[in-house]
Amino acid sequence: MALGWIYLTVAILLEVAGTISLKYSAGLTRLWPTLATVVLYTGSFAALALAIESIELSTAYAIWAAVGTALVAVFAIVIFGAPLTWGKAVSLALVIAGVAGLHLSEAAATALGK
Helix (H, G, I), strand (E, B) or coil at 53: coil
Region 95-108 average pLDDT: 80
pLDDT for 74:
93
Domain residue ranges in the chain = 2-111
pLDDT tier for residue 102 given thresholds of 50, 70 and 90 = confident
pLDDT tier for residue 113 given thresholds of 50, 70 and 90 = low
pLDDT for 59:
87
CA separation for the pair 95, 67 (Å, rounded) = 8
The kind and range of the H/E element at 7 are helix 2-24
Region 71-87 average pLDDT: 95
Cβ partners under 8 Å of residue 82, min gap 6: 73, 76
Cβ partners under 8 Å of residue 89, min gap 6: none
pLDDT for 73:
93
What mean pLDDT, rounded, does the chain reach? 92
Region 46-64 average pLDDT: 94
Q: Is the pLDDT of residue 109 over 90?
A: no
Q: Is the pLDDT of residue 76 over 70?
A: yes
pLDDT tier for residue 103 given thresholds of 50, 70 and 90 = confident
Region 86-109 average pLDDT: 84
